Amino acid sequence: MLSRTASGLYWMARYLERAEQLARVLDVTNRLSLMPVRGSQGDELLLPLNLTGTRELFETLNGRCTMPQLFNFFALDDRNPCSIFSCWQEAWNNAHAVRGSLSSEVWESINSTWIEMRNTRRRGITSANADTFFDWVKERSHLFRGAMFGTLLRGDAMSFIRIGTLMERSDGTARLLSVNQQLLEQQSDSVREYYCLDTLLRAVSAREAYNAIFKQQLLPDLVNEMLILRSESPRSLHSCIDEIATQLENIGSSGEDRPRYLITVLLAEMRFSTWESLTQEGLYHWLNAFLTRLNALADSINHTYLEAK
């Protein structure tokens, strides 16, 4: 496959996943902000800002942090490169450049979402319909994925899309865990701890899965273990890394095996680590190291396949 096409597919998928993750995080942030919690200073509103590193930009543009402002900033503000709108814009640009490599169902799912999103932007959203908007963004993401699994040829195009999705998802999950870990370390209040964990699980659609797997109350270690080491959970780091490894095998070699080397080492660690060995030096430390390795993998994928000389 043409390197430029592979690159377009990869980035299209990354931006679509990024938009979905934002919708998930904003959705739970919204719910969290409605909970009457003793001693809360509105820290939960900072979650999406900390996650995307846009706190400074937000404060420059908006000053005080309120829920409606946060929505507008993350939903439809094109001045925020991390807004859902901006992510979709990038996703559409990439998809448009490679539309010939997509099935018409996949292309149309993306194109019609984009048309609708521009209309929504003209109308604007309010706190009252923010939920509906986030649900819609998630739905359109599901539609894209369904169209892809249902109609796209199993080949390089599919592999690069999946790799893009899963790279972004592992990055997102790891960041979410990291930010959450910081919050937990500052908490002594057990009610707030509960909401922190509950939010985290809901953001990755894993609240019910937790019950099904562990059948007990929420415990920080178990939640983290589930989202890192359990391969059954579709948004856990283990399951993301597992599929990236499979997809890189499918693409095969171009004479340069760096990405496959890196992913194999990472996968071995996820498969054979115990929770105790993983967190010897602290979870926060491990998550940061994981993000660094993920970046190195992204660089090598870029270098090997997407910007081939």
Partner 1 sequence: MKESYQIASHFYDEMLLSDGQHRAHYQQYWKWLQQADVDAVARKREEAELLFHRVGITFNVYGDDGGAERLIPFDSVPRIIPASEWAMLDRGIRQRVQALNAFLHDIYHQQLILKAGIVPAEQVLVNDQYQPCMQGVDLHRNIYAHIVGVDMVRNNDGEYYVLEDNLRTPSGVSYMLENRKMMMRLYPELFAGQHIAPVERYPSHLLQTLRESSPVNDPVVVVLTPGRFNSAYFEHSFLAQQMGVELVESADLFVKDGAVMMRTTAGPCKVDVIYRRVDDAFLDPLAFRPDSMLGVPGLLSVYRSGNVVLANAIGTGVADDKSIYPYVPDMIRFYLDEDPILNNVPTWQCRKPQDLTYVLANLAKMVVKEVHGAGGYGMLIGPVASQQELSDFRDRLKARPENYIAQDTLSLSTCPTFIDNGLAPRHIDLRPFALCGADIRLVPGGLTRVALNEGSLVVNSSQGGGTKDTWVLEDDASC
Chain residues that interact with partner 1, rule: CB under 8 A: 1-6, 96-97, 99-101, 104, 107-108, 111-112, 115, 156, 160, 251-252, 254-255, 305-306, 308-309
Taking the least distance from each CB to partner 1, the nearer of 99 and 202 is 99
Minimum CB–partner distance for residue 260 and partner 1 (Å)? 13
Q: Which amino acid is at 112?
A: S
Q: Which amino acid is at 82?
A: C
Instruction: Give the span between the Cα atoms of 212 and 306, in whole angstroms.
Output: 40
Taking the least distance from each CB to partner 1, the nearer of 164 and 172 is 164
Minimum CB–partner distance for residue 37 and partner 1 (Å)? 43
DSSP 44: G
Minimum CB–partner distance for residue 280 and partner 1 (Å)? 38
Instruction: Tell me the torsion sign for CA atoms 72, 75, 79, 82.
Output: positive
| Contact status, residue 250 vs residue 229, Cβ threshold 8 Å | no
Minimum CB–partner distance for residue 245 and partner 1 (Å)? 17
Taking the least distance from each CB to partner 1, the nearer of 217 and 254 is 254
Minimum CB–partner distance for residue 115 and partner 1 (Å)? 6
Tokens of 80: 């925020």
Taking the least distance from each CB to partner 1, the nearer of 5 and 50 is 5
Residue that has been written with the tokens 């990038």 in this structure? 90
CA distances (Å), origin 181, targets 47, 184, 281 = 12, 5, 14
Minimum CB–partner distance for residue 78 and partner 1 (Å)? 11
User: Given phi > 0 = left and psi -120 to 50 = alpha, else beta, which region is 55?
Assistant: alpha
Taking the least distance from each CB to partner 1, the nearer of 253 and 292 is 253
Q: Which long-range contacts (CB under 8 A, 24 or more apart) does 117-124 make?
A: 117/76, 117/84, 117/85, 117/88, 120/76, 121/76, 121/85, 124/72, 124/76
Taking the least distance from each CB to partner 1, the nearer of 62 and 250 is 250
Taking the least distance from each CB to partner 1, the nearer of 153 and 212 is 153
Burial of 281 (0-12, 13-18, 19+ CB in 10 A): exposed
Minimum CB–partner distance for residue 239 and partner 1 (Å)? 24
Instruction: Give the span between the Cα atoms of 135 and 130, in whole angstroms.
Output: 9
Residue that has been written with the tokens 């996703």 in this structure? 91
Instruction: Give the span between the Cα atoms of 22 and 258, in whole angstroms.
Output: 31
Minimum CB–partner distance for residue 172 and partner 1 (Å)? 25
Taking the least distance from each CB to partner 1, the nearer of 36 and 100 is 100
